[in-house]
Amino acid sequence: MPGSTDGLSVCGPLPAGRNKRLLTVEGHFFAHSRLEMFQVLKQDGQSKARLGRLTLSHGVVDTPAFMPVGTAATVKAMPHDYLESLDSQIILANTYHLYLRPGDERIARLGGLHKFMSWTRCIVTDSGGYQIFSQRDLISVSQEGARFKSHLDGSRHFFTPEKSMMVQQRLGADIMTVLDECIPYPSTHFEAAKSLELTLHWAERCKRSYSTQMSGRQALFGIVQGSVYPDLRQHAVERLQEIDFAGYAIGGLSVGEPKELMYEVTAQCGELLPEGFPRYLMGVGTPPDLLECVALGVDMFDCVLPTRNARNGYLFTSRGRLSIKNACYAEDVRPIDERCLCQVCRRFSRSYLRHLYMAGEIVSSVYNTLHNLHFYLDLMAKIRESIASQNFLEFKRNFLGEYCSEDETVRSRDISSI
Answer yes or no: 302 catalytic: yes
Helix axes 189-213, 230-243, angle to 10 degrees: 10
Do 299 and 367 share a domain, yes or no? no
The length of the chain, given as a count of residues: 418
**Model pLDDT, residue 413:** 33
Shared-domain flag, residues 269 and 353: no
Residue 55 CA to residue 219 CA, distance in Å, equals 10
135 and 207 together in one domain: yes
Residues 253 and 365 in one domain: no
Q: Are residues 317 and 292 in the same domain?
A: no
Q: 174, 302, 337, 378: which is the annotated catalytic residue?
A: 302
Q: Choose one of 288, 308, 328: the last residue of a domain.
A: 308
In a domain, 390, yes or no: yes
Do 111 and 229 reside in the same domain of the chain? yes
Q: Which of 126, 174, 180, 244 is catalytic?
A: 126
Q: Does 126 map to a domain?
A: yes
Domain termination site, one of 308, 335, 353:
308
| Amino acid at site 105 | E
* N- to C-terminal Cα separation, the chain: 26
- What is d(CA 72, CA 236) in angstroms, rounded to the nearest whole number? 30
Same domain (yes/no): 276, 378: no
Domain for residue 139, yes or no? yes
Residue 39 lies in a domain: no
276 and 243, same structural domain? yes
- Tens place of pLDDT for every residue, the chain, 418 residues? 333 323 222 233 333 333 333 333 333 323 334 444 799 999 999 999 999 999 999 999 999 999 999 999 999 999 999 999 999 999 999 999 999 999 999 999 999 999 999 999 999 999 988 888 887 667 899 999 999 999 899 999 999 999 999 999 999 999 999 999 999 999 999 999 999 999 999 999 999 999 877 767 899 999 999 999 999 999 999 999 999 999 999 999 999 999 999 999 999 999 999 999 999 999 999 999 999 999 999 999 999 999 999 999 999 999 999 999 999 999 999 999 999 999 999 999 999 999 999 999 999 999 999 999 999 999 999 999 999 999 999 999 999 999 985 443 333 333 333 3
Pair (77, 153) in one structural domain? yes
Annotated catalytic residue 244: no
Task: With respect to residue 412, please indicate whether it lies within any of the assigned structural domains.
Answer: no
Say how many domains are in the chain.
3
Q: If we measure between CA atoms, which residue out of 269, 290, 288 comes closest to residue 278?
A: 269
| 411 belongs to a structural domain | no
Based on the domain organization, do 296 and 182 belong to the same domain?
Answer: yes
Residues 6+ apart with CB under 8 A from 17: none
User: What pLDDT shows up at residue 215?
Assistant: 61
Regarding whether 268 and 145 lie in a shared domain, the answer is: yes
Question: Do both 224 and 360 map to the same domain?
Answer: no
pLDDT digits (tens, 9 = 90+) for 349-384: 999 999 999 999 999 999 999 999 999 999 999 999
Give alpha helix (H) positions in 110-252.
113-117, 129-134, 161-171, 189-213, 230-243
**Cα separations (Å) of 99 from 28, 113, 275?**
42, 11, 34
Cβ within 8 Å of residue 209, ≥6 positions away: 161, 162, 165, 166
Within a domain: 345? yes
User: Cis peptide leading into 285, omega within 30 of 0?
Assistant: yes
The answer to whether the CB of 324 falls within 8 A of the CB of 357 is yes
Instruction: Examine residue 48 and state whether it is found in any structural domain, yes or no.
Output: no
Q: Which domain holds residue 165?
A: 53-308
Of 289, 308, 327, the residue that ends a domain is 308
The pLDDT of residue 404: 82
* Bridge partners for 122 per DSSP: 90
